[in-house]
Structures are given as C-alpha cells and as structure tokens.
Structure 1
Amino acid sequence: MQLLTSLDYSSAEEQLDEAATSREETTCDDSFMAELLAGLSRADRAVPCRFLYDAAGSALFDEICELPEYYPTRTECGILKAHASEIAAAIGKDVRFIELGAGSGGKAEILLDQMPGARSYVCIDISPVPLAGTEAAVRQRYPRLEVSSVCGNYLGELELPKATGLRDVCFFPGSTIGNFERDDARAFLQTWRERLGPGGMMLVGVDLKKDSAILEQAYDDAQGVTARFSMNLLSRANRELGADFDTAHFRHRARYVADPGHIEITLVSTAEQDVRVGGRTFAFSPGEAIHVENSHKYAVAEFADLAGDAGFDVTRVWTDEAKLFSVQLLTAKA
C-alpha cells in the first residue's frame, strides 16, 4: 500500500480554487471508467490500485496506518527516528532532497531536521492539491531551504528544476517500491539512476520478507478496516460511474504468494451475479476475483541484486530489531 497523505492536506484544500479541483476530479473519473471497463474485460480481471485512493479510500488508509496489525508505517518511522543522524551523515552535504509523492506522514521532516547539509527541497506529485500543501508546509518549517515543486508523474517523463552544485537524493518511503511488479521496480530504479546521475542517491523504504501470518494479518486486520478500504473501490465505481456492484456479494481477500514473495489483494465474488457499468454487463461466478493490488516483499540481498541491475550500489541498510522493514540507501554507480 502507498502512503499518500500530505503534510497539511486540509490547509492545501483551502488554498486551491474549487474549479481546479473539479477539473482534476473529472479527469480522474474519465480514466477510472476506461480502466475499469478494460480491467473487467480481461480473463484475469484487475483494476489498478491507484483507484483505491479517492477521498474515502485515503481516509480509510490513514486508519489502516494506525492499526496494530499494520506494522510498515510505524516501523519505518521508528527506523528513521533511531537512525536519522546516521542517515544524514551517510548522505553528506550540499544535497537537494527530492521527495516522490506529496508528503510522507512526517517522515521527510524526521530526516530534514537532521540534515544541515540539505540546501534544496523538491516535491513531485501528480495531484496539485496535496502538492501545494506539502510545499507550503516545508517552506514554513525550513526557511533556510530553497523549496520548489513539480506537478507531474514521477513514474514518467518530467523535468526537474536545475540545481547547480548540488547532489540529488531521492526519498521514496512507505514501501511504495513494493507496489511495482519486480521488472517494473527495476525499470523504475533504472529511470531514476539515469535522472540522478553518478553519485546521486535514493533512500528507499523496503518491506522485508517475513512470516506469512504477519503479512496476511497486516493486510486483513481483525477490525475489517483494510477490507472496507478495498471494497471502497466497488463503492466508488457505484458512486462515480453508476455501476451496480452489490458489495454484500464480494469479499476482501489478502494472501501471501511465496514465489516471488508478495501479498495479493483481490475482491472475490461470493455469488453468481451480473454487474452493470458503462452500458456493459459483466457476469461473475462464485469465487471469481478482481485483482486490486500486489505488495512485494524482499530479502535484503534480493533487493540489493535488483538495485544493482538498475545501476545502484546499496550503501547502507537500516532495519528494526525484528527485521520487519528496512530503509536502504542506494548510490548510483559511476
């Protein structure tokens, strides 16, 4: 799962005009319909996980991050707090800190508070609302920093502001790297290796392989919050697209797939049923699933191999005592 909260989301909403927000939502709706129809038309039905994060989904994900079963957020924060000074020393001086995604739930501040060598901060996000909130909050907290933002997709083509004499350090927390299939993760890192140049760095949150029971409980909690988060995808389709998913006849399923090592999240039909959306009808049999998300887990050596293939050396790895999670510093090879 991705951590998509901003530093001051409600403040940012007040700063942006309603027309811009409306335009953004309309674009998202158009994309949602096309992606949903395409995904339901496949033999192995699937919907991209980004559509989990409407306003309701984001609020539910904030709840997930506080659940006792969901260890990634608090464990990563604990690693950063315990090792912030070491991380800052390993990164060094005269750097530009690039955060991928608007706001990391306070994680960036944990590091920036200990990084006198940071001279500049850039946030990249595809959505202008949280981007504005993050930029304003960083400006206020760190008046010494040169702060800028880029509204764009960090997965695709984008142009970074020029930064003469500074070395780039890219911050990618939250185990968001785990949302990529492994080949896509390698390609993503390779793209950023080329973008950062020799000596550039990435600081990446990487969830580690562990007992499958711990993983499955993290993605299927006893209170059912994660189930409501996943099921909200169908409710969103009903609200926004006029679909008629009967959510009482679908269930959330999270299971660990050992090879190659990921949590697979699906919404499983519990009855023979038809679903109508966009003027089309899709038949579901009992047990038929809609794939929503994979969350990949890595052994430390396994991620080092993947990073190496992408043109990075793993400089340092920090973990919690139980070795549930890791924060890894990658340095671009010459």
Structure 2
Amino acid sequence: MEHQATGPAVNIATPLPRLENLLPPDHDNEYQQLLDGLLQPQARINPKYFYDDTGCELFTRICELEEYYPTRTEAAIFERCANDISLALVNHAQWIDLGCGDCSKSRRWLQHIAPARLIGVDIAGDFLQSCLADIAHDHPELECIGVVSDFTRRLDLAELLAEDRASPPVFFYPGSSIGNFTRPDALRLLRCIRQQCGARGQLLIGIDLVKPSPILEAAYDDAEGVTAAFNLNVLSVVNQLLHADFEPANFVHQAVYDREQNRIEMRLVAKHPHRVRLGHTERHFHRGEYILTEYSHKYTTDGFSALLAEAGFHCQHLWTDPQQWFGVFLAES
C-alpha cells in the first residue's frame, strides 16, 4: 500500500476524476474508537493507523526486504499467470480496487483487460483522486472513479455499481490484506462483497498461505529492523491524533506466530513500567505488557476456499507459486 503517487504529471487540462465520499456519519468518532482500544484490558491499535507518510515509506522498504516474501511472490504469480487470469476474468467489467493506495497493482491489469470503469476505494481522498488522475491521463477511454471509504467498517457500492448494470463488478483485493481481519470479520467483508457482486461478479484476491513459523516470523521481524521501525512509528501517529505522549523508545517490537490461530501477531511490548497520557486520561503499562497492533492470518488453500464458500462464493481458479507460499484466488458469485 505505497501511498506515494507515481507516473507522469497530470495534464492541467485533464479534469479530475469523480470522487464519492462514502465515509459513515460517525467517522469523526474514529479517535474515540482509537482511544477506547488503547484503554481495553488488552490494548490494541487498528493497523490502518500505520500508514502516515513515514509509515508508507517504511512499508515500501519492507516490501523490498529479502525476508518479506508476500509482495514479490504475489507479483510473480501475477506476472507468470497474467494471461490465464485475464482469460478467466469477465469482460468489460467494473474493476473495483479495494484499498488501492496509488493504484499501482491495478495499473498492470489495464494492459491485459479492458474494464468499463476503474473504481478505486481508499480512505485518503486527495491522494486517491491524484493517483486516479494519473491513470485517466494515460487511459482517456477509461472512466475512473474514486470512493473515499473505510471499507474495513462498511462497504456499500450498490448505488454506484447500479449506474452501469451492463458491466459486472470485479473486486480486486491483493496483498493478503484480508489477513488483518479476524475470521468473523473476514467472513463479514466477503459476504458484503458477495452481495454486491450480483449474478456475474467476481473477486480476485491474494492470500498468504500457511508455512513454517521461522519464515513467517522473519518476514515480520526483519534483521534490518525496518518492520520494528514501522510498528513503533504507529505510536507517533497516536501521539498526534490523541495528544498522547507515547515514547517509542519505551517499547520493543515483537512478532509472534500463533500456530493454533494460524496468524502472526505484531506487538509493542513495554520495556519497563510507565504511564502514558492519552488526551485527558492516561494508562499505566506494566513491564512486558503489550499493545496489539496487527493480526496477519494465514490460510491453507482448502481453508480459504471454505471461507469463500461460506460467504456465498464459488472458487473458480487458484494460482500459486512453486513453493505454494501464496495463493491468488478467483471466486465467482
């Protein structure tokens, strides 16, 4: 999810793409929800707060690390199987990129498919519109629409999709980002997507697969300490949002693989007892107490196929790498 715009400068005569704001009315309560999470017995921070400018830069570096296999493995599958995937996708679709960032992963598909529309969904409206403007400049025949939405909480594109009933939707959700959801929340999101797919829609989704724990733990705790810096940076984000006084140096990054749940847990562990001001309140952290910052669930191919089926999808195709570390699933209504 690199949030740095790339590509050519937008021609000044090119109109900006349409932007729809679908943030829920209670979006302003996000800060209260962040505070509530930090005051729970098990303190937690939603991973969406990782991605300020510094976080985006660090995540870009993470994706280039030798230990962090998901980005390059998924990209290799897309490259090797591009023709097969393109042939399996419905024609003249509405291409919906969930959590699109700079839309770079969608860009590569525009040379293989001819979508009727590109709908980018992300929470950063100005950045989203700028990136879509770059694509519209390069592909003037393509209708580009930005949707400002926190789809981790609510996704409702029915009205927008109904504008072009002749073009079935293809939801694109790469990067195994659904692994950040608990299984019930992942199922809820998949069901929501299924409801909006209609009779001819599809879902193209990247999933990180179960593998030996040393490989997984190294991917989330690299030798250079980039992931540690990325995790600790979220405390600086919280400081800005909540007028808090977290000292990142008082915490240490930890990545643990829970074999029973098939998930990595990213944590920030307190090095010693101390208090943190959180706006008008405060919290005491004991030595060894941790803040949970991210889940990253891993699936077997059968396990994720079963989750798709439970959501009302049929797994149409599955592409993997030679080591079967990562899977790209194409599901249909």
Q: TM-score, normalised by structure 2?
A: 0.88
Kindly indicate whether residue 156 of structure 2 is the aligned counterpart of residue 160 of structure 1. no
- Superposed, 1:261-300 pairs within 5 Å as 261-300=262-301
Provide Cα deviations, 1:273-294, integer angstroms capped at 9, x if missing partner.
Answer: 1111212221111110111110
Question: How far apart are 1:126 and its partner, in Å?
Answer: 2.4
| Counterpart pick for 2:138 among 126, 133, 141 | 141
Question: 2:18 is matched with which residue?
Answer: none
- Superposed, 1:245-324 pairs within 5 Å as 245-324=246-325
Counterparts of 2:110 and 2:253, CA distance in 1 = 38
Question: How far apart are 1:44 and its partner, in Å?
Answer: 1.1
Counterparts of 2:103 and 2:73, CA distance in 1 = 13
Question: 1:223 is matched with which residue?
Answer: 224
Counterpart secondary structure, 1:166? coil
- Superposed, 1:18-97 pairs within 5 Å as 33-97=31-95
Question: 1:200 is matched with which residue?
Answer: 201
Counterpart secondary structure, 1:143? coil
Question: 2:104 is matched with which residue?
Answer: 106
When structure 1 is superposed on structure 2, of 159-168 and 316-325 the one drifting more is 159-168
| Contact 2:6 2:102 survives alignment (8 Å) | no
Question: How far apart are 1:111 and its partner, in Å?
Answer: 1.8
Provide Cα deviations, 1:40-80, integer angstroms capped at 9, x if missing partner.
Answer: 22111111111111111111111111111111111111111
Kindly indicate whether residue 233 of structure 2 is the aligned counterpart of residue 235 of structure 1. no
Equivalent pairs counted in the alignment come to: 317
Counterpart secondary structure, 1:171? strand
The alignment's C-alpha RMSD in Å is 2.4
Question: How far apart are 1:101 and its partner, in Å?
Answer: 2.1
Counterparts of 2:77 and 2:127, CA distance in 1 = 25
Change (3 A) 1:104 1:203: farther
Question: 1:18 is matched with which residue?
Answer: none
When structure 1 is superposed on structure 2, of 293-302 and 151-160 the one drifting more is 151-160
Provide Cα deviations, 1:112-139, integer angstroms capped at 9, x if missing partner.
Answer: 21114x2222112222122112311221
| Contact 1:170 1:201 survives alignment (8 Å) | yes
Provide Cα deviations, 1:203-259, integer angstroms capped at 9, x if missing partner.
Answer: 001110101111101101101011011101112233454322222221010011112
Counterparts of 1:104 and 1:213, CA distance in 2 = 31
When structure 1 is superposed on structure 2, of 228-237 and 259-268 the one drifting more is 228-237
| Contact 1:60 1:225 survives alignment (8 Å) | yes
| Contact 2:103 2:131 survives alignment (8 Å) | no
Counterpart secondary structure, 2:178? helix
Question: 1:21 is matched with which residue?
Answer: none
| Contact 1:250 1:269 survives alignment (8 Å) | yes
Change (3 A) 1:6 1:328: farther
Counterparts of 1:49 and 1:260, CA distance in 2 = 18
| Contact 1:244 1:277 survives alignment (8 Å) | yes
Change (3 A) 1:240 1:44: closer
Counterpart secondary structure, 1:160? helix
Tell me the amino acid that sits aligned with residue 304 of structure 1. S
Counterparts of 1:33 and 1:312, CA distance in 2 = 35
Tell me the amino acid that sits aligned with residue 153 of structure 1. D
| Contact 1:122 1:147 survives alignment (8 Å) | yes
Counterpart secondary structure, 2:76? helix
Question: How far apart are 1:147 and its partner, in Å?
Answer: 2.3
| Contact 2:103 2:120 survives alignment (8 Å) | no
| Contact 2:31 2:242 survives alignment (8 Å) | yes
Counterparts of 1:71 and 1:31, CA distance in 2 = 36
Counterparts of 1:309 and 1:55, CA distance in 2 = 37
Counterparts of 1:205 and 1:255, CA distance in 2 = 22
Question: How far apart are 1:265 and its partner, in Å?
Answer: 0.6
Question: 1:330 is matched with which residue?
Answer: 331
Question: How far apart are 1:103 and its partner, in Å?
Answer: 3.7
Question: 2:17 is matched with which residue?
Answer: none
Provide Cα deviations, 1:122-166, integer angstroms capped at 9, x if missing partner.
Answer: 112222122112311221222332222222333413432411311
Kindly indicate whether residue 127 of structure 2 is the aligned counterpart of residue 130 of structure 1. yes
| Contact 1:4 1:101 survives alignment (8 Å) | no
Provide Cα deviations, 1:9-57, integer angstroms capped at 9, x if missing partner.
Answer: 9969x99xxxxxxxx9xx99x6564234212221111111111111111
Question: How far apart are 1:100 and its partner, in Å?
Answer: 1.1
Counterpart secondary structure, 2:330? strand
